[in-house]
Amino acid sequence: MHAPIVTLTMNPALDVSSTADRVVPEHKLRCGPSRFDPGGGGVNVSRAIRNLGGSSIAVYPLGGPTGQAYRGFIESAGLVARVITIAGNTRESFTVDELSTGDQFRFVLQGPTMREPEWRACLSVVADELPVGGYLVASGSLPPGVPDDFYAMLAEVSADHDVRLVVDASGPALRRALEAGVFLIKPSRDELAELVGAEGELDEPELVEAARVLVASGRAEVVALTLGGRGAVLVTPEEVLRLPTPRVPVASAVGAGDAFLGALVLRLAQGRPLGEAFRSAVAAGSATAMLPATELCRPEDVARLEAALVAEPSTG
Candidate ranges 29-33, 199-203, 226-230; pick with highest mean pLDDT: 29-33
Average pLDDT taken over every residue of the chain: 94
Q: Specify the DSSP class assigned to residue 129.
A: T
Sign for the CA dihedral angle at 258, 173, 8, 92 comes to negative
Rounded CA-CA distance 245/197 in Å is 27
- Over range 91-114, report the average pLDDT: 93
Determine, yes or no, domain membership for 314.
no
Predicted local confidence at residue 314, as pLDDT: 56
Are the beta carbons of 57 and 129 closer than 8 angstroms?
yes
Write out pLDDT tens, residues 277-298.
Answer: 999 999 999 999 999 878 899 9
Rounded CA-CA distance 77/38 in Å is 8
Q: Choose among 56, 21, 19, 62: nearest CA to 38.
A: 62
- Over range 34-58, report the average pLDDT: 96
The set of catalytic residues is: 258
Bridge-based pairing state of the strands 232-235 and 220-226: antiparallel
- Over range 175-186, report the average pLDDT: 97
Determine, yes or no, domain membership for 97.
yes
Predicted local confidence at residue 288, as pLDDT: 95
Q: How far is CA 241 from the centre of its chain?
A: 20
High-pLDDT (> 70) share of the chain, % = 98
What is the CATH number for 188? 3.40.1190.20
φ, ψ at 50 (rounded to 5°): -65, -40
Rounded CA-CA distance 206/202 in Å is 6
- Over range 103-131, report the average pLDDT: 96
Determine, yes or no, domain membership for 101.
yes
Predicted local confidence at residue 91, as pLDDT: 97
Predicted local confidence at residue 252, as pLDDT: 87
- Over range 57-64, report the average pLDDT: 98
Determine, yes or no, domain membership for 316.
no
Write out pLDDT tens, residues 72-96.
Answer: 999 999 999 999 999 999 999 999 9
Determine, yes or no, domain membership for 313.
no
Q: What is the pTM of this model?
A: 0.94
Structurally, the chain folds into a number of domains equal to: 1
Determine, yes or no, domain membership for 235.
yes
Predicted local confidence at residue 153, as pLDDT: 97
315, pLDDT greater than 60: no
- Over range 99-106, report the average pLDDT: 92
Predicted local confidence at residue 311, as pLDDT: 65
Determine, yes or no, domain membership for 270.
yes
197, pLDDT greater than 90: no
Domain, as residue range, for 295? 5-308
Predicted local confidence at residue 37, as pLDDT: 92
Write out pLDDT tens, residues 216-259.
Answer: 999 999 999 999 888 999 999 999 999 999 989 988 888 999 99
* Confidence band, pLDDT 50/70/90 cuts, at residue 313: low
Alpha helix (H) residue ranges in the chain: 41-51, 64-77, 116-128, 150-159, 171-180, 189-195, 204-216, 256-269, 274-289, 299-308
Write out pLDDT tens, residues 125-172.
Answer: 999 999 999 999 999 999 999 999 999 999 999 999 999 999 999 999
Determine, yes or no, domain membership for 315.
no
